[in-house]
Amino acid sequence: GYGVKKSATGALQHLQFAVQGEGATANIKTHATHVSASISNVLLWTDQAIAKAQEVRAAPDAGAARLVAELAVLVGQINEGTDANQDGQIDWQVGEGGLQQAHTHMTLMMKGEGLENAPR
């Protein structure tokens, strides 16, 4: 019962704690914004993937293949993000970033705080 949605929701909550905490640095605040945007995308796409998976379960065999392909796109977006503005790269912004972009900016945040060797 502990999956992407619960993890992403918890990550957003902890990011807010970090940003609101005493002594939060500009580095934390900047990268928390980037991570939050990407995680918000992940939550949206996760809800869409759950709904699509329910459609797959209810679909007759003939219609399931198309729905599975749509589900695969959503799962890819959750992990890799998507180039929503078609500029040739996937950034952290709303509508683009996924788990990979959230991870990248968490790593940058940790390095900025001198925690590059912290366990993950």
Total-model pTM: 0.90
* % the chain with pLDDT above 70: 97
Tell me: the pLDDT tens digits for 44-91?
999 999 999 999 999 988 779 999 999 999 999 999 999 999 999 999
What SS3 class is residue 40?
Answer: helix
What pLDDT is stored for residue 35 in this prediction? 97
The encoded tokens of residue 40 equal 């918000």
Tell me if 82 sits within 8 A of 75, measured CB to CB.
no
Length of the chain: 120
What pLDDT is stored for residue 48 in this prediction? 98
Neighbours of 89 (CB within 10 A): 9
Confidence class for position 116, pLDDT limits 50, 70, 90: confident
What pLDDT is stored for residue 1 in this prediction? 77
Rounded to an integer, what distance in angstroms lies between the CA atom of residue 19 and that of residue 29? 6
